[in-house]
Amino acid sequence: MKQVLFTNWHFMRFLRVALALFLFFNAFETHEWFFIAFGLFFLFQALFNLGCNNNRCGINFHSKKDV
């Protein structure tokens, strides 16, 4: 777990953290509290390195018959 949080930081992870911080700030400035949910989503993706990286988020359409 510690390795996932502290290694392999790249541009997209930093971008997600920046977007999360922007959404948190925007939520407090405008009192539109639903922005916090979006900020938490991006922060969770950044911390645990989740999301579509290197075009690996495609859906596998092959059925067991095709294989």
Task: Please indicate whether residue 1 or residue 16 has the higher confidence score (pLDDT).
Answer: 16
Q: Please report the pLDDT score of residue 51 as a whole number.
A: 78
Q: Could you say which DSSP state residue 52 is in?
A: -
Q: Please report the pLDDT score of residue 41 as a whole number.
A: 95
Across the chain, the runs of DSSP E, i.e. the strands, are none
What pLDDT digit, counting tens, does each position of 26-64 carry? Answer: 999 999 999 999 999 999 999 988 877 665 665 556 666
Task: Band the pLDDT of 4: cuts 50, 70, 90.
Answer: confident
- CB-count burial class (<10 Å; 0-12, 13-18, 19+) for 41: middle
- CB-count burial class (<10 Å; 0-12, 13-18, 19+) for 11: exposed
